[in-house]
Amino acid sequence: MKVYVMDAFTDRVFGGNQAGVVLADKVLEPGVMQQVAAELKHSETVFVEQGEDGLHLRYFTPAGEVDLCGHATVATFALLRRLGRIGDGTHTAHTWAGKLDIGVSGETVWMDMAPPKTLGVLPQESWAELYGTYGLTLADRPEGLEPEIVSTGLADIMMPVTDHETLMRAKQNEETVTALSKHFDVTGVHMFCLGEDKVYCSNFAPLYDIPEECATGTSNGALTYYLYERGLVEPEKENLFLQGEHMGRPSRIYSRLTAEDGAVRVRIGGQAVLSLSGEMDL
């Protein structure tokens, strides 16, 4: 079977977030997919199967299966376009998070997120522990923005901080963040601060053996909805998220939100480039 490594949410090799993409020539058991993901050691590896109703995608971290992964999805469709298997237009992806429309336009891939959901504000008594696990205090939380659990396919804690300097000096205690993630039943923590024309962010998911991730589509989809609920994102406007700076793998993730007849839809967009390819015999 063919195995590829794609750098997603970037237009150059060694930027963005790496994802394994496996185009299997036979049906693989979940246990085998898990072993392959552990062997490749990327934050996520996606397994692609062509069905009569479209493409079926399953996502594995080195530690376990997840319902959806934005950067791996962008990587998949950018790769398939590069290989000539799909063209520009709208394509269907079937995932455990639901059926998604994927738009391909030149070098850019746009993907629907699962319907956005606010799953609750963190209890105020847990805020100090959350900020403390990054070496921060409640003084580093901007007034009027609370830690909140939001999902557009995967649930994350949205964690606002005051400015870029605070974001860059945050240091994670992996054991505590893992415990908090289990307690609140989330994938991880998405820390962010507002810039003039962009949002800076860092993503942490040690529960899934991902200490930090340099580009996360689902988390920035959730953040788009979080900011929209507070009047900080306008419908139809393109939003830019910068992630992965201090990891040395800068990423650019775009989002668009629409709101029609009470239904909110979030799309995430970006590019991806091929960095490695090979074969695996199973």
Claim to verify: residue 258 and residue 127 sit in the same structural domain: yes
* The pLDDT value given to residue 50: 85
* The pLDDT value given to residue 261: 83
* The pLDDT value given to residue 33: 95
* The pLDDT value given to residue 249: 86
Claim to verify: residue 212 and residue 144 sit in the same structural domain: yes
- The answer to whether 44 is a known catalytic residue is yes
Claim to verify: residue 104 and residue 28 sit in the same structural domain: yes
User: Residue 261: which region, alpha, beta or left (left: phi > 0; alpha: psi -120 to 50)?
Assistant: left
Claim to verify: residue 138 and residue 15 sit in the same structural domain: no
Claim to verify: residue 156 and residue 210 sit in the same structural domain: yes
pLDDT tens, residue order, the chain (282 aa): 899 999 999 988 888 889 999 998 888 999 999 999 999 999 899 999 988 888 999 999 998 999 988 889 999 999 999 999 999 999 999 999 888 889 999 999 998 888 999 999 999 999 999 999 999 999 999 999 999 999 998 899 999 999 999 999 999 999 999 999 999 999 999 999 999 999 999 999 999 888 998 888 899 999 999 999 999 999 999 999 999 988 888 899 999 999 988 899 999 999 999 998 888 887
* The pLDDT value given to residue 104: 95
- Domain CATH for 78: 3.10.310.10
* The pLDDT value given to residue 272: 95
CB atoms within 10 A of CB 52: 4
Claim to verify: residue 172 and residue 183 sit in the same structural domain: yes
Claim to verify: residue 108 and residue 136 sit in the same structural domain: no
Number of domains composing the chain: 2
Instruction: Look up the pTM and report it.
Output: 0.84
Claim to verify: residue 129 and residue 250 sit in the same structural domain: yes
Claim to verify: residue 48 and residue 131 sit in the same structural domain: no
Claim to verify: residue 6 and residue 80 sit in the same structural domain: yes
Claim to verify: residue 93 and residue 21 sit in the same structural domain: yes
Claim to verify: residue 12 and residue 76 sit in the same structural domain: yes
The span from the CA of 267 to the CA of 282, in Å, is 36
Catalytic residue among 44, 148, 212, 213: 44
Question: What domain range is 197 assigned to?
Answer: 117-267
DSSP sequence for the chain: -EEEEEEES-SSTTSSEEEEEEE-SS---HHHHHHHHHHH--S-EEEEEEETTEEEEEEE-SS-EES--HHHHHHHHHHHHHTTS--SEEEEEEETTEEEEEEEETTEEEEEPPPPEEEEEPPGGGHHHHHHTTT--GGGSPTT---EEEESSSEEEEEE-S-HHHHHH----HHHHHHHHHHHT-SEEEEEEE-SSSEEEEEEEGGGTEEEES--HHHHHHHHHHHHHTT-S-TT-EEEEEE-GGGT--EEEEEEEEEETTEEEEEEEE-EEEEEEEE---
Closest of 275, 273, 279 to residue 74, by C-alpha: 273
